[in-house]
């Protein structure tokens, strides 16, 4: 069992009983009593309101509740960094959800961990997606999740315009641009389409099922095989 999982279970055991001895906790967690003493001390140091001492028993301080997840200082900083880097490159809806989720996580951190996360000297200035590309990303992301076919107009790097019907498989970010990985029914093969080269698109009512040879894992296997050649 990972230590993080053990700590979580320890908290749940303590909060669920009026008093829990170290022996009881050690038996339930299948560890030594010495490990329980160390884990409780670490949790108390992180701000978890566990009262009691070795030889007596432990209980959760009255009036306190804990979130189902706990994060270390480093984990909290990693989450903040991830959202800061990702937000400028997401569609508006997903970016808002990411910020809201991060706010909930940061809001329940111990004071020291919250201060370290919010004050982290890591910024990610970037040119955000233009409004049209953000909207395309939102529509294509939702169409992918719903397994709905899409008719799109596309202009390739040479300026040639085509119309395609595709099965959207994944939206892929390359650091400079978003692309749509898809099974192109017009070409009967996998294709990638840059979102900033899609002047128009229409999500169709027709849904598609995963079919052998036309799924995202099939595409990834082909890419892997091509790299090994």
Q: What is the DSSP string of 74-130?
A: HHHHHHHHHHHHHGGGS-HHHHHHHHHHHHHHHHTS-HHHHHHHHT-S------PPP
Residue 176 has pLDDT above 90, yes or no: no
What's the DSSP call for residue 229?
A: -
Minimum mean pLDDT among 7-16, 32-41, 152-161: which range?
Answer: 7-16
DSSP state of 146: H
pLDDT of residue 166: 98
> 62 is written with which tokens?
């009255």
User: Nearest-CA neighbor of 133 among 77, 171, 80?
Assistant: 171
Measured between its terminal Cα atoms, the distance across the chain in Å is 40
- Mean pLDDT calculated for residue range 104-114: 78
Say what the pLDDT of residue 121 is: 81
Q: Which pTM does this prediction carry?
A: 0.65
pLDDT given at position 119: 83
pLDDT at 20 over 80: yes
Extract the runs of DSSP E, i.e. beta strands, from the chain: 50-53, 57-60, 148-155, 161-173, 178-184, 189-194, 200-207
CB atoms within 10 A of CB 70: 20
Residue scoring higher pLDDT (126 or 197): 197
């Amino acid at each position: 069992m990972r230590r993080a999982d053990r700590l979580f279970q320890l908290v749940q055991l303590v909060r669920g009983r009026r008093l829990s001895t170290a022996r009881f906790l050690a038996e339930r967690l299948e560890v030594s009593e010495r490990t329980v003493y160390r884990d409780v001390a670490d949790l108390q140091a992180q701000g978890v309101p566990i009262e009691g001492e070795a030889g007596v028993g432990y209980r959760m301080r009255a009036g306190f509740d804990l979130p189902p997840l706990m994060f270390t200082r480093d984990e909290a900083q990693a989450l903040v960094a991830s959202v800061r880097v990702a937000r400028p490159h997401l569609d508006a809806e997903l970016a808002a959800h990411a910020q809201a989720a991060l706010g909930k996580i940061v809001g329940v951190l111990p004071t020291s961990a919250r201060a370290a996360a919010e004050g982290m000297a890591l910024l990610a200035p970037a040119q955000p997606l233009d409004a049209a590309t953000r909207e395309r990303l939102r529509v294509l992301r939702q169409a992918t999740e719903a397994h709905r076919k899409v008719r799109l107009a596309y202009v390739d790097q040479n300026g040639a315009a085509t119309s395609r019907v595709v099965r959207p498989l994944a939206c892929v970010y390359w650091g400079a641009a978003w692309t749509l990985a898809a099974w192109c029914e017009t070409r009967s093969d996998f294709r990638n389409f840059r979102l900033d080269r899609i002047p128009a698109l229409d999500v169709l009512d027709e849904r598609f099922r995963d079919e052998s040879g036309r799924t995202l894992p099939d595409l990834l296997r082909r890419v892997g095989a091509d790299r090994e050649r």
